[in-house]
Structure 1
Amino acid sequence: MSVYDRIQIEARSDSEDRLISADEPLATLQARCGGKLPGAIAIPELRELVAKSRGYGLKLARPITAQDGVEVIRAWIEVSPLDGGCRIILRNWHATPLPPEPSDLTGRRKAEIDRALAELTARLDAGQNVLTVECEASDLMPVAKAMQAGIGRPWTDFVELGALSSQKPLHWRLLDGAEVIIKGSQRPWRASVLPQLGLEGETLGFELFLTSEVPMSGSDLVPEDQADQTVGPPKGDKARSALIGRELAPILRLPIARIIANAETIRTRRVGPLPEEYADYAGDIAAAGQHLLALIDDLSDMEVIEAEGFAPAADRIDLADLARRAAGILGVRAREKGITLQLPDVQEHLPAIGEFRRVLQVLLNLIGNAIRYTPENSTVSLQLTSCADRARIAVVDQGAGLSAEEASRVFNKFERLGRSGDGGSGLGLYISRRLARAMGGELTVESRLGHGTRFTLDLPKGG
């Protein structure tokens, strides 16, 4: 730590807020922030205070915190108007090294950016077999539809891997970052494969992102007469409203994703040193963008399920297997809060009737909510039961619970029970119940204040 407790550091600026002279260590800080001496003030916090002092014609004094990518600097600063510019005095200068970044931070940043920019996203099981796929770009529609029809097959069966094609099967590390060729698309594509790890470090599944450096042009948007074939809503979706699903969603996704990626670049200081408050602001922008994308997804889903003729497919599914898959997808989020997911045993099975992707969507929503609202270092349980003709799975948390009045409103459209700041749209449970009922089932809630909450998905039992 560098300390200049008893040293008065002086500097001068001119009428254009250029730093014309500066004592050490302020001169070094100016250089580390990309400035020159003399030259425009490159330290944002100092530049702001100097501009205010000169503009108001007042002496200003306050503590200041800045950083140069190497150290965090704290000092007391006094700025006084003088001869068209300002006289600058700093005292109690303390410089401490920036803390080291976590070893996995670079990987997490890359995953966040890839997730935001992806034009095709797929969930894979531990064997890299396709579970779900979502896509909006028309030049990826053929491969997305093929994946949707081929759920359970390796994703590499649907793309060309160039020089890697002759080396199948491939470890996911060889595929992460690989260039892939998509039949029917003229754009170059890169695959990102993000593992989802269990409590013991085992691989539970993967997220697959296909991204391109070449942006989607207007001709790449899904034509209106093909909108009801868009992959994302599954094969059972017969109609889609023109407002969100057909027209706005494809147009909005890419620019919002670009905003998120740029904000993440700023937040992570990949373009140079940045004060903490500005990095936090960029993080807020990225988070708001993620919430907006989630809202677009929810509105698109709502339009689909409320459309006349909506009818999910009647697949034969295993609720126990789907519960384990959903928990694997959300395992990282649970571990970040120290939450234990109690899952059905690998030998346990519960046949049911319902569309594979839609049941997985409901379970992801229920488990995700339980993780979000249950305390840290607690447990979320997935419990299976059945009777003569019904198969049931319950998601039970140890959260604060709901009052009887709240429980009566929890499935209402846009209902958020007074919560603010968590980014939810208030549509997740509404959509989940509509889906359950469309599949011949039901979604119910049991809860008491202080005793956690149980959501139960009920479906027709399979043979």
Structure 2
Amino acid sequence: MASEPIITARARTDADDNLIEAEEPLASFHLRAGGKLPGPIVTPALLELVRKARRSGKRLSRAIRAQDSQDRIATWVEVVPGRAGTIVNLSAWTVQDIPEPGRAADIDRLALVRHLAGLTARLDARQHLLAVDWTASDLDRVGEAMLTGVGQPWTDFVAIADNGGRSPVDWRMSDGARAEVSGSMRQWAVHLAPLGPGGTGSAGFELYLVPDQPLADDPPAPSRKPDRSAGIGRDIAPVLRQPVSRIIANAETIRSQLSGPLAEEYSNYAADIAAAGEHLLALIDDLTTLEMVEDEDFNPAPDHIDLADVARRAGGILGMRAKERGIILDFPKDAEKVPAIGEFRRTLQVLLNLVGNAIRYSPEGGQVWIRAVASGERAQVVVADQGEGLDADEQRRVFAKFERLGRSGDGGSGLGLYISRRLAEAMGGTLTVESARGQGARFTLDLPGGPDASG
């Protein structure tokens, strides 16, 4: 039977990423770090993970480190996104004294390992898998296998060099060893961080796989005609995403003044850096998706979905953004169901773009309506706003690539609606707009209806 991590503490956040409930010891740590209950999350690593889970709608887990004026803590965090925020589960909470200068090198080494790791896993005291997370694309195969094999020894999935195929009994035999991973041409170094009193691993381990070199770029396919723009998403995105993410994380650390007091103007400057980084990450994602939808071999994976449920999820994810501008989101009620055929992730992506635009262009204190309806053998979601609206010429241009209709300074790429229409069409649907100057806009996503859609 698979082992389960023992939950140390639970917490809950709202759609604004405020910590609204927290058990000990997280509650005391949060308060010592300058936070309030309820109030904004003040631990940057936790805030980053909560934001990522809420925006992606995916359950995420990883190890985080933080410190206040008294202690340096380490814990494994699992964030489960919900309709109105997230549930946070913490396990293996350990406390260390803030290291003296003589121990700083060991701490720095582990911090570097965490930064470079392509895969992170949480193990129990027997070195059996509890959870896994990875960022390296050449570890997709082993990462998926580990997720399926939770409860098994991690050595069932990673071949340690020169050990004759034996599973090590003592974790020290694996720490620092070289390893080969199925599906990856790179060599990997194994790093194990023991948890629990005295560093014995009595509370389990953190496993890190660190590559010996950066991931090589894929050579261009021989049949492909040379094109300066081809591969921009695939080639540039992996190179840019990690350093930009680090810039955002470091800027958030400075902005939150976790490392010490800071003049207000510098804190505001750090917030501007973080915001610019977020815009750049969004542009990177847009370019990656653009290349995907324009690939002649692109095919979504259609499935039976509930359009009303997808609409509710989009509204929940963007609730914080709407609240910041005093905008009310009116989305389908829990009991409403509208069966449709489409890929859940791509449909959610389209609705996030439509609802996000509606929030952006509605006046402060306004309202955005999201309606899901079945119409014969079709299923539809309508997103309506109270913005300035579009004239006939703007409606013809609004779905064009890089079209921003004269907008400037909002961080948009002009790709969102173009990509959304391509995704809708790839799923056998359409994306249309009805509008008039001064009367807002109504965007309609139309997809094939699912079973009982006409009833």
Larger displacement relative to structure 2 (331-340 or 417-426): 331-340
Alignment partner, residue 355 of structure 1: 343
Alignment partner, residue 105 of structure 1: 40
Unpaired segments ≥5 residues, structure 1: 1-99, 148-155, 163-183, 190-211, 228-240
Q: For 2:384 and 2:342, locate their aligned partners in 1 and report how far apart those are by CA, in whole Å.
A: 21
Q: For 1:188 and 1:334, locate their aligned partners in 2 and report how far apart those are by CA, in whole Å.
A: 43
SS in 2 for 1:418: coil
Q: For 1:406 and 1:306, locate their aligned partners in 2 and report how far apart those are by CA, in whole Å.
A: 23
Q: CA deviation at 1:397?
A: 1.1
Q: CA deviation at 1:266?
A: 2.1
Q: CA deviation at 1:450?
A: 1.8
Distance 1:243 1:409, change over 3 A: same
Q: For 1:157 and 1:276, locate their aligned partners in 2 and report how far apart those are by CA, in whole Å.
A: 48
* 1:421 has 2:409 as partner: yes
Report the residue type matching 2:323 in the other structure: R
Q: CA deviation at 1:416?
A: 1.3
Contact 2:244 2:277 in 1 (8 A): yes
Matching of residues 354-393 of structure 1 within 5 Å: 354-393=342-381
Q: For 1:302 and 1:358, locate their aligned partners in 2 and report how far apart those are by CA, in whole Å.
A: 13
Q: CA deviation at 1:373?
A: 1.9
Alignment partner, residue 107 of structure 2: none
Alignment deviations for residues 379-398 of structure 1 (CA, whole Å, 9 cap, x no partner) = 11111233222111101111
Q: CA deviation at 1:459?
A: 0.7
Q: CA deviation at 1:403?
A: 2.2
Distance 1:424 1:389, change over 3 A: same
Alignment partner, residue 137 of structure 1: 136
Alignment deviations for residues 210-266 of structure 1 (CA, whole Å, 9 cap, x no partner) = xx99796464648738x9xxxxxxxxxxxxx96234322112111111111112222
Q: For 2:241 and 2:390, locate their aligned partners in 1 and report how far apart those are by CA, in whole Å.
A: 34
Alignment partner, residue 325 of structure 2: 337
Report the residue type matching 2:285 in the other structure: D
Q: Percent identity among equivalent residues? A: 55
Contact 2:42 2:256 in 1 (8 A): no
Q: For 2:347 and 2:269, locate their aligned partners in 1 and report how far apart those are by CA, in whole Å.
A: 37
Q: For 2:242 and 2:255, locate their aligned partners in 1 and report how far apart those are by CA, in whole Å.
A: 20
Q: For 1:116 and 1:347, locate their aligned partners in 2 and report how far apart those are by CA, in whole Å.
A: 28
SS in 2 for 1:424: coil
Q: For 1:117 and 1:346, locate their aligned partners in 2 and report how far apart those are by CA, in whole Å.
A: 25
Alignment partner, residue 441 of structure 2: 453
RMSD over equivalenced CA pairs, Å = 3.8
Distance 1:293 1:358, change over 3 A: same
Contact 1:117 1:261 in 2 (8 A): no
Alignment deviations for residues 46-94 of structure 1 (CA, whole Å, 9 cap, x no partner) = xxxxxxxxxxxxxxxxxxxxxxxxxxxxxxxxxxxxxxxxxxxxxxxxx
Matching of residues 313-332 of structure 1 within 5 Å: 313-332=301-320
Query: Aligned to 1:289, which of 261, 272, 277?
Result: 277
Structure with higher Rg: it is 1
SS in 2 for 1:224: coil
Query: Aligned to 2:58, which of 103, 123, 139?
Result: 123
Q: CA deviation at 1:343?
A: 1.6
Structure 1: 4+ residue segments shifted above 6 A:
115-118, 212-216
Question: When the two structures are superposed, what TM-score results if normalisation uses the length of structure 2?
Answer: 0.56
Q: For 1:457 and 1:117, locate their aligned partners in 2 and report how far apart those are by CA, in whole Å.
A: 26
Q: For 2:326 and 2:337, locate their aligned partners in 1 and report how far apart those are by CA, in whole Å.
A: 27
Alignment partner, residue 406 of structure 1: 394
Alignment deviations for residues 338-397 of structure 1 (CA, whole Å, 9 cap, x no partner) = 222212222221111111111111011111111222122221111123322211110111
Query: Aligned to 2:218, which of 196, 215, 224?
Result: 224
* 1:307 has 2:295 as partner: yes
Q: For 1:395 and 1:108, locate their aligned partners in 2 and report how far apart those are by CA, in whole Å.
A: 35
Distance 1:243 1:223, change over 3 A: closer
Matching of residues 29-44 of structure 1 within 5 Å: none
Distance 1:242 1:414, change over 3 A: closer
Alignment partner, residue 77 of structure 1: none
Q: CA deviation at 1:140?
A: 5.1
Matching of residues 18-37 of structure 1 within 5 Å: none
Distance 1:350 1:188, change over 3 A: farther
Aligned residues between the structures: 296
Alignment partner, residue 64 of structure 1: none
Contact 2:382 2:443 in 1 (8 A): yes
Contact 2:41 2:47 in 1 (8 A): no
Unpaired segments ≥5 residues, structure 2: 1-33, 60-80, 88-132, 154-180, 182-187, 194-205, 222-228
SS in 1 for 2:314: helix
Contact 1:341 1:382 in 2 (8 A): yes
Q: For 2:36 and 2:393, locate their aligned partners in 1 and report how far apart those are by CA, in whole Å.
A: 44
Alignment partner, residue 423 of structure 2: 435
Q: For 1:453 and 1:376, locate their aligned partners in 2 and report how far apart those are by CA, in whole Å.
A: 16
Contact 1:117 1:257 in 2 (8 A): no
Q: CA deviation at 1:415?
A: 1.2
Distance 1:145 1:447, change over 3 A: farther
Query: Aligned to 1:254, which of 234, 239, 242?
Result: 242
